[in-house]
Amino acid sequence: MPKDDFICIGHRGASGHAPENTLKAFELAIKLGCQWIELDVYVVEGELLVIHDEKLNRTTNGSGLVEAQTVEYLRSLDAGDGEKIPLLSEVIKRVAHRCKINIELKGTHTAEPVNALLKDFISKGWREDEFMISSFNHEELAASSPDIKRGALFHKQIANMFERAADLNAYAVNLSQKIAHTEIVAQAHERGYQVFVYTVNTRDEMLVLKKMGVDGVFTNFPDLFPSDKP
């Protein structure tokens, strides 16, 4: 059945229109009506930085491995349109409860510092349900706070997918579009999981997935997201 509460998740913000994983992209995603934004984190010198690739070359004017740099160097770089690589704390403050935040653990040993940061924000008035933590690294995801929703990421279909999600006490299975089909969505829902699909960048694909019963999509182009109006 089509979803009445189909969720738009800004993939690295509105990254089809602004430099990915920047405050500019997140602001635009919120302006375009995203209920969630998605971002990626690495920890460097105890700070959580929002960037996707393990190397700097594609998305900044820097070079080398993110985790091999200093925070000072990373923060000096241009991440596009004069934007800096933001700190996770900066993103949360800028969002200011206007949407929810899906934090993908990309770098090594990111779960514990994310747990600590979110605990601090929750002590200051944020709610646990305003966050979700996800990762392809399920060992790292297992170390994330049990009080925060977990999204188990899968880029290919595996035989023990739902067993792995159960072991993680996952709230959602976040699936590559190439493996999202009616049967797997139904199986996930039967087991009580939400299903979010990445990365969906045409309106027609979004409509197909909505009809399939998917709970939401990650998209670089939130402006293409179908409204509930006929």
Rounded Cα distance, 107 and 51, in Å? 10
Instruction: Spot the catalytic one: 11, 97, 109, 189.
Output: 11
The 10 Å CB-count burial string (b at 16+, else e) for 27-55 is: bbbbebebbbbbbbbbbbeebbbbbbbee
Nearest to 193 by CA among 151, 139, 137: 151
Identify the bridge partners of residue 156 per DSSP, sorted by sequence position: none
- Which amino acid makes up residue 32? L
Known active-site residue 52: yes
Q: Which secondary structure element, helix H or strand E, spans residue 57, and what is its range? A: none
Known active-site residue 97: no
Instruction: Spot the catalytic one: 52, 109, 155, 181.
Output: 52
Rounded Cα distance, 101 and 129, in Å? 9
Decide: 78 and 50 in contact? Cβ < 8 Å. no
Decide: 19 and 220 in contact? Cβ < 8 Å. no
Residues designated as active site: 11, 52
